[in-house]
Amino acid sequence: MKTYLLALLPMLALVACQSEKNMKDQPQTLSPSTASMAIDSLKALYGEGEVFRITRGVEQAAAFWQPVTDGNDSAFLAFCREYYVPEGPGLELLHQRLSGNFEVLWGSFNKISLKLQEPVQLEVGDILPVDRVFAGYAAGAHLNDDLFANKVAFITLLNFPFYTLEEKKVRAAEWTRCDWAFARMGEVFTSRVPAALLQEYSRVNTAADAYISEYNIYMHNLRKGDGAPLFPEGLRLITHWGLRDELKANYADPDGLEKQRMIYQVMLDIIRQQIPGECINNPEVVWDPYTCKVLSHGKWTGVPGEGDVRYRHLLEQFRALKAMDKYNPLYPDYIKRKFDQGMEIPQVEVEALFTELVSHPVVRECGRIISQRLGRPLEPFDIWYDGFKARSGVAESRLDAITRARYPHRDAFQQALPDILRRMGFNPADATRLSAQIQVDPSRGAGHAWGAEMRTEKARLRTRIGPDGMDYKGYNIAIHEFGHTVEQTISLHEVDYYLLNGVPNTSFTEALAFVFQKQDLAMLGMEDKDPLKEQLSALDHLWSNYEIMGVSLVDMKLWQWLYAQEDEVRPAQLREEVVRIATEVWNAYYAPVFGVRDSPILAVYSHMIDYPLYLSAYPIGELIQFQIEHHLRQHTFAPEVLRMYRLGRLSPAQWMKEAVGGELSILPLVNAAESAVAAVGKP
Ligand SMILES: [Zn+2]
């Protein structure tokens, strides 16, 4: 009971500072005494037993109330008296009504988007120009504004308290399913950001995205001094994924090392922004990444670098997101919005998990095995070592022939769904019921799953089926998407409260999709018999997590630094800081494994620039998936899938506790890697 006032402090601060600024015009926020008057009057009506809900409900409604559009102070007082519902059957009825109506609204808008995008997403004939216009139209874009305008948002805020992550953790032990559903209702309205700020963010985000998308390196133009070109004519690679994938591919090339070193040097030039501006996305300019000079009329010439454009984009995104802080009183900064709200795992916990893994002794063991396999000491780019992938023993052409014969058209795959589920161990009734809620659609792209948001609709499994049937790649993806749609079906149709439908975050649905996908050969009646497959896969997981966790640590530390600055930050200053943070993380957790100090390579990831603070979602997702897969392997698959995914959208911590009986942890991965080191690392 004591924590709630603290949790609401940012809101009260907002109320106070805004009312000072806007004294001369009409007030843009309620006067500070209005909320306490509303609280007193409701307490007088409903008694001390309601004090927690009254206080929190009134404070959170007041934090969003704008007198100019929503009504003056006395209108707010009247609103609270009219719409506050004390605990009991009346409140349960209100919850039911809101749930039912949100299901209609969200479900219908979802259906509208799904239908309007069909011509561009499905193989249903030529795409007309007008199809793209409809596909880009978001019919539900104004829903949030409308629900504030007609007071539905305020009725929800007034009656359903918002709980912080910390509070949910503390209360979880005593909460019923109904309490969780009520808590989720308290999270439906958390922001009221003016359209102009959303548009500004969209503008700077699109610009950053375009900057990265058009940032290509023409590899045949790279030289080391007067040496010959190392890369073939026409090889154009995007930063940093294309560069990284080429680096990975070169592990298979006996002459790959020189090429890998050169790619690494290009990455350093990008991070430090020494890369000559004129050689980006330009097939004409020959340059030397080791000196950053360009070849002009037969002479090596020094030219200006790119000029910190990379960091200017990052700064503009930071500023646009920070401008929204005061319109998100429940999650008052972007770090909280990404972690507490989006992922629902506190940033400090994420950082602690990552630090635990990157400093674990098993990583050093894994590094030793890689160095042995390479026959040389590690170099910093070996964070992308790619040699633990087990290769399938069956030729892909043979697999293509099997899947094409089995699934010549859409209907064949649709009809096969119950049978695939039965082979996975679902009983006939479950297999039939789940399959009946999944519709297979012929996809233009590689495939995806699109769940329903109302119980009258089916989940869509989009998969690519060529004129001569489904090839193995298409089949493999279809089985992955089948896993998603099974999750979407269970967690919508078989969860007790609509507000609890779904999963805590996307990692939980990816986990089931990957578990399905790994059974694809077994579903064709074949088995992959590589005895080391599991061990190699554990080491592959460990090493890729080691890489991406380091990158994520840099990303998080950078955003903490940005928020800590009181003065305006300049792009050059940000560049220096990024290099400093990346080098610091490297020296703490990578230098001991690699035996090389002072590399800023962890700052190269492009999402750091175009997808702010997203990177941590990858390793968190991998940890969750690893833990869920590990649990499913040790239990009877089908009943356990049904039980786990009927939990719905609890917090991730509570879901893990009820589903796999433990907290989110690096231990399953570390244990698997340790036994793999013992099996693979034998001299
Ligand atoms: Zn997926």
Which of residues 311, 329, 348 is at a domain's end?
311
Query: How many angstroms does the Cα of residue 513 sit away from the middle of ligand 1?
Result: 6
Query: How many angstroms does the Cα of residue 482 sit away from the middle of ligand 1?
Result: 10
Query: How many angstroms does the Cα of residue 617 sit away from the middle of ligand 1?
Result: 14
Q: Which residue has the higher pLDDT, 387 or 316?
A: 316
662, part of any domain: no
pLDDT (0 to 100) of residue 506: 87
Stretch 330-356: mean pLDDT, rounded? 95
Give me the number of domains the chain comprises: 3
**Same domain for 411 and 479?**
yes
Query: How many angstroms does the Cα of residue 592 sit away from the middle of ligand 1?
Result: 35
203, part of any domain: no
Q: pLDDT-derived band of residue 6, with 50, 70 and 90 as boundaries?
A: very low
Q: Which residues contact 192 (CB under 8 A, 6 or more apart)?
A: 64, 144, 148, 153, 327
Query: How many angstroms does the Cα of residue 590 sit away from the middle of ligand 1?
Result: 30
Which of residues 275, 292, 311 is at a domain's end?
311
Q: Are strands 447-450 and 459-463 parallel, antiparallel or unpaired?
A: antiparallel
Q: For residues 516 and 480, what is the distance between their CA atoms, to the nearest angstrom?
A: 6
112: helix, strand or coil: helix
531, part of any domain: no
pLDDT (0 to 100) of residue 396: 82
Query: How many angstroms does the Cα of residue 186 sit away from the middle of ligand 1?
Result: 29
Strand order in the sheet with 447-450: 438-442, 459-463, 447-450
**Span 66-107, pLDDT tens digits:** 999 999 999 999 999 999 999 999 999 999 999 999 999 999
**Span 669-678, pLDDT tens digits:** 999 999 999 9
**Same domain for 508 and 423?**
yes
pLDDT (0 to 100) of residue 12: 38
**Same domain for 12 and 161?**
yes
Query: How many angstroms does the Cα of residue 620 sit away from the middle of ligand 1?
Result: 15
Which residue segment(s) compose the domain that 510 sits in?
Answer: 396-523
Q: What does pTM read for this prediction?
A: 0.86
Number of CB atoms found within 10 A of residue 646's CB: 15
Query: How many angstroms does the Cα of residue 666 sit away from the middle of ligand 1?
Result: 22
Query: How many angstroms does the Cα of residue 139 sit away from the middle of ligand 1?
Result: 26
Q: For residues 157 and 364, what is the distance between their CA atoms, to the nearest angstrom?
A: 51
628, part of any domain: no
Q: For residues 652 and 642, what is the distance between their CA atoms, to the nearest angstrom?
A: 17
Which of residues 523, 550, 582 is at a domain's end?
523
**Same domain for 255 and 404?**
no
Average pLDDT value for the chain: 92
pLDDT (0 to 100) of residue 9: 38
111, part of any domain: no
**Same domain for 518 and 410?**
yes
Query: How many angstroms does the Cα of residue 521 sit away from the middle of ligand 1?
Result: 18
**Same domain for 146 and 256?**
no
Stretch 41-61: mean pLDDT, rounded? 97
Q: For residues 406 and 417, what is the distance between their CA atoms, to the nearest angstrom?
A: 12
**Span 204-247, pLDDT tens digits:** 998 998 899 889 999 999 999 999 999 999 899 988 888 999 99
**Same domain for 429 and 512?**
yes
pLDDT (0 to 100) of residue 26: 57
**Same domain for 157 and 298?**
no
Q: Which residues contact 451 (CB under 8 A, 6 or more apart)?
A: 459, 460, 484, 485, 488, 489, 492
Query: How many angstroms does the Cα of residue 494 sit away from the middle of ligand 1?
Result: 21
Q: For residues 323 and 339, what is the distance between their CA atoms, to the nearest angstrom?
A: 18
pLDDT (0 to 100) of residue 341: 94
100, part of any domain: no
Query: How many angstroms does the Cα of residue 110 sit away from the middle of ligand 1?
Result: 19
225, part of any domain: yes
509, part of any domain: yes
Query: Of 511, 541, 496, 538, which is closest to residue 659 (Cα–Cα)?
Result: 511
E-strand stretches of 222-318: 236-238, 287-288, 293-296, 299-302
pLDDT (0 to 100) of residue 616: 92
**Same domain for 406 and 282?**
no
**Same domain for 33 and 150?**
yes
Query: How many angstroms does the Cα of residue 508 sit away from the middle of ligand 1?
Result: 10
Query: How many angstroms does the Cα of residue 532 sit away from the middle of ligand 1?
Result: 26
